[in-house]
Copies of this chain bind each other. A is one copy, B any other.
Amino acid sequence: MKAGTSDEEWREDCAPRRVLELFATKWTSMILHVLHVRLNGAARTGVLQRSLPGVSKKMLTQTLREMENTGLVTRHVQGTVPPAVEYRLTPLGTRFIEPIELLYAWGRSNSDALNELGSRPTSRR
């Protein structure tokens, strides 16, 4: 066999491409990371927001909703006043941690090369 992977179907909606869609919303993987590494798999909205410098309330909620729809996290409304909502990793979300962490680890190992990202000519003329 010549192929490296078994999946040589590059259809528009193959599994690899669907995974990439999970990264389309840029906060998804970071939420999963923080939930797993720092928050033991569950956290309330405010904690999440404070753990992710730069995220806005809007995008945090919006991203969490999408993640709930895709089955990466679950949403638990606890009290009533004041509202206390907790998000938890699902088995699917937990399984997704592994490839994500490898991705991040790779970034740390290659941070030197990655430092000069947009520092090059940009034009060749």
Residues in chain A within 8 A of chain B (CB atoms): 3-8, 10-12, 15-21, 23-24, 26, 29-30, 33-34, 36-38, 51-54, 69-71, 92, 95-96, 98-99, 101-108, 110-111, 113-114, 116-118, 120-122
Contact = CB atoms under 8 A, between A and B. Distances in A.
B113 A15 contact: no
**Copies per assembly:** 2
B15 A20 contact: no
A20 B23 contact: yes
Nearest to A114: B18
Given A53-B11, A120-B69, A122-B69, A16 B99 contact: no
Contacts of A6: 108
Given A10-B52, A52-B10, A71-B113, A37 B4 contact: yes
Nearest to A52: B10
Given A18-B114, A53-B10, A3 B38 contact: yes
